[in-house]
């Protein structure tokens, strides 16, 4: 999605250059377990909100050898339309959500368009129906799902936003989701304008730095194969020559590298 720089930082930006936005889901795969984080959005939502729809995320998963219809665990970082838009394509899944996110998405703040804009009423209602079917597991704060993966409440962008910490070959990694839409939001201390609590958002950056580092995505990591160039990246490996992505070793990211940012509404 094309966006102006000024749309991505609270208080705007003196530069009026473009700063496009990418939309992601994440796959965490071990020898014994597959977990997906977030489900992105579909063509209908893209048309309605004037985003370019590149591909259904379940097609992206298929390219990585994962059939969405068999996935049993889906972590939902928050209930914005671009993070829960395809959850009907995961018919076997249990969804993992913070108590505070469901309360936020069904409570008083949704009477105000400023907060409600990035939610889709039908998707929130559908998730409520999943609650009654026993298909939602709730957390309140931080929770270890297994030895190698945990969720952590951050808030800020929404009341119940959670980030995901994953153990990889390179150590602990944090999937920030919209806790920092772009690497620059966090690294330069400039909040994204879709926010319910700025202090929680800023505290969240510190929390993520304590949990792990390295927030940029497509510009820092390698595709798992040439066919997946620009579609998917592996977060846990350096390239074939053993050369690591820029900023990898010391976790200091050049701001110029951040202009191809990482997230969504
Ligand atoms: Zn969001």
Question: What's the CA-to-centroid distance between 126 and ligand 1, angstroms?
Answer: 18
**Which residues are within 8 A (CB) of 111 and not within 5 positions of it... i.e. 6 or more apart?**
none
The reported pLDDT for the residue numbered 110 is 98
Q: What is the pLDDT along the chain (265 residues), one digit of tens a residue?
A: 887 777 778 877 666 677 788 899 999 999 999 999 999 999 999 999 999 999 999 999 999 999 999 999 999 999 999 999 999 999 999 999 999 999 999 999 999 999 999 999 999 999 999 999 999 999 999 999 999 999 999 999 999 999 999 988 777 889 999 999 988 898 889 999 889 999 999 999 999 988 875 545 666 677 888 888 878 888 777 665 556 655 554 443 444 444 444 444 5
Query: What are the structure tokens assigned to 43, written together?
Result: 């063509």
* Cα(182)–Cα(174) distance, integer angstroms: 14
Distance CA 42, CA 56 (A): 6
Q: What is the whole-number distance in angstroms between the Cα of residue 265 and the centre of ligand 1?
A: 4
At residue 14, the 3 state secondary structure works out as coil
Distance from residue 78's CA to the centre of ligand 1 (Å): 7
- Rounded CA-CA distance 259/161 in Å is 24
What is the token pair recorded at 255?
């701001």
pLDDT at 255: 44
Integer Cα distance of 206 and 200 in angstroms: 10
């Amino acid at each position: 999605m094309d966006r102006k720089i000024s749309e991505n930082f609270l208080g705007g930006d003196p530069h009026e250059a473009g700063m496009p936005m990418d939309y992601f889901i994440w796959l965490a795969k071990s020898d014994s377990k597959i977990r997906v984080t977030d489900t992105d959005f579909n063509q209908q939502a893209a048309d309605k909100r004037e985003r370019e729809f590149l591909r259904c995320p379940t097609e992206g998963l298929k390219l990585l050898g994962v059939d969405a219809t068999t996935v049993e665990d889906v972590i939902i970082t928050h209930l914005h339309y671009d993070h829960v838009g395809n959850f009907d394509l995961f018919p076997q899944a249990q969804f993992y959500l913070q108590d505070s996110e469901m309360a936020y998405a069904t409570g008083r703040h949704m009477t105000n368009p400023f907060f409600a804009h990035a939610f889709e009423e039908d998707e929130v209602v559908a998730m409520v129906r999943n609650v009654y079917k026993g298909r939602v597991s709730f957390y309140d704060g931080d929770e270890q799902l297994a030895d190698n993966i945990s969720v952590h409440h951050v808030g800020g962008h929404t009341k119940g936003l959670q980030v995901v910490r994953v153990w990889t070959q390179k150590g602990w990694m944090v999937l920030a989701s919209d806790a920092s839409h772009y690497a620059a939001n966090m690294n330069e201390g400039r909040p994204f304008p879709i926010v319910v609590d700025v202090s929680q958002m800023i505290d969240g950056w510190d929390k993520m730095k304590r949990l792990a580092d390295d927030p940029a995505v497509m510009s820092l990591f390698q595709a798992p194969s040439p066919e997946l160039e620009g579609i998917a990246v592996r977060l846990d490996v350096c390239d074939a020559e053993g050369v690591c992505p820029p900023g990898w070793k010391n976790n200091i990211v050049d701001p110029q590298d951040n202009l191809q940012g990482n997230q969504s509404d």
